[in-house]
Amino acid sequence: MIDKNFFIENIKTLFYAFLIAIFIRSLFIQPFYIPSSSMEPNLLVGDRLFVTKFSYGYSKHSFPFSPPIFKDRIMFSAPKRGDVVVFKTPADNRTDYIKRLIGLPGDQIQFINSNLYVNRSEIIKSRISKNDKIYCGDKTIDVFTFEETLPSGKKYITVYHKDFSFQNSDTFLVPKDHYFFLGDNRDCSKDSRFLTSVGYVHKDNLVGKAQFIFFSSDRSVGSFFSFWKWNKSIRFKRFFKKIR
C-alpha cells in the first residue's frame, strides 16, 4: 500500500522543482533551439543555445505565455548594435525569432546594390570566400561569405546568395523604442525588412541575448536516439561556442 504522505511529499517536491525551473527560466537563462537556416553560418539548424533573460531587463515576454504582469519593460538596459537577440515577433507576440540587431531607434537602414547602409554610411564587408554552400530552407545554395564590420568595430560573418536576390530597398526609419533586425543569411531570412510579417520590433518584445551554444546536432543525419550515428550527427566542435 502506498503511503499517502509519501505521495503528497513527492507531489510537493515536483511542484517546487517546477517553480524553481520557471524562476530560473524567466529571470536568468533559457535554452532555445534553432529551427531554421536564417542565421547561417553562425547558427545552424539543430543548435541549442542559452539566452540570458536579464541582459535587457524584463517584460511580460520574459515569462512563459507572456502574462500581462508588466505594462512596460522594467530594469531596461538597451541592446547594442550587433547583438544576436531572441524576440517575440510583432505579428503575433508569441513566436520566438532570433536575428542580429542592426538598427537602433532613430536609425535609417537601406540596401543599395545589395550593400547595407546605416544612417547613409555603408557597412563595410570584406569577402572571405566565394565558394561556400549553406542551407536555405531545405535547399543547399552557393553563397559568397563576407565579414561585416559595424561602426562600433564589431565583426561577424554574413552570407549572400551569388545572385544577390535582395538588392535595393526603400529607407527604413526605425521608430522610437523599436529595433531593426536582420538574419546573417541575408537572402534567406524573414526579418525586419518584411514589415507585414516582422517589421520593427518594440523593446518590450525583446526576450534576451544569445550567449553560447551548449549542444548541436544534425538531424538530417539521425535523431539523438540513433546513438550509433552520434559520431556524425552530433557537432561536438560547436559545444560551448560563444555567439558573436
Instruction: Let me know: does 58 contact 72? Beta carbons within 8 Å.
Output: no
CA distance 176 to 199: 14
* DSSP class per residue in 4-43: HHHHHHHHHHHHHHHHHHHHHHHHTEEEEE--SSTTTTTS
Write the pLDDT tens digit of every residue in 31-89: 999 999 999 999 999 999 999 999 999 999 998 888 888 888 999 999 999 999 999 99
Domain 32-211 has CATH 2.10.109.10: yes
Res 103: pLDDT = 98
In what order do the strands lie in the sheet containing 124-136?
A: 124-136, 139-149, 155-161
What pTM did the predictor assign? 0.89
Catalytic residues, which ones?
A: 38, 99
Write the pLDDT tens digit of every residue in 149-189: 999 899 999 999 988 778 889 999 999 999 999 999 999 99
* DSSP class per residue in 185-240: BTTS--STT-TTTT-SEEGGGEEEEEEEEEEEB-TTT--TT-GGGHHHHB-GGGTT
Write the pLDDT tens digit of every residue in 222-237: 666 666 667 778 999 9
Q: Domain residue spans in the chain? A: 32-211
145-169 exposure pattern, b = at least 16 Cβ within 10 A, e = fewer: bbebebeeeeebbbbbbeeeebeee
Contacts 24+ apart (CB under 8 A), 68-77: 72/204, 73/203, 73/204, 73/206, 76/203
Write the pLDDT tens digit of every residue in 110-142: 999 989 999 999 999 999 999 899 989 888 989
Cell of 65: 505565455
Res 137: pLDDT = 84
Q: Which residues, listed in sequence order, are joined to residue 109 by a DSSP beta bridge?
A: 118, 172
pLDDT surpasses 60 at 2: no
pLDDT surpasses 80 at 23: no
pLDDT surpasses 90 at 13: no
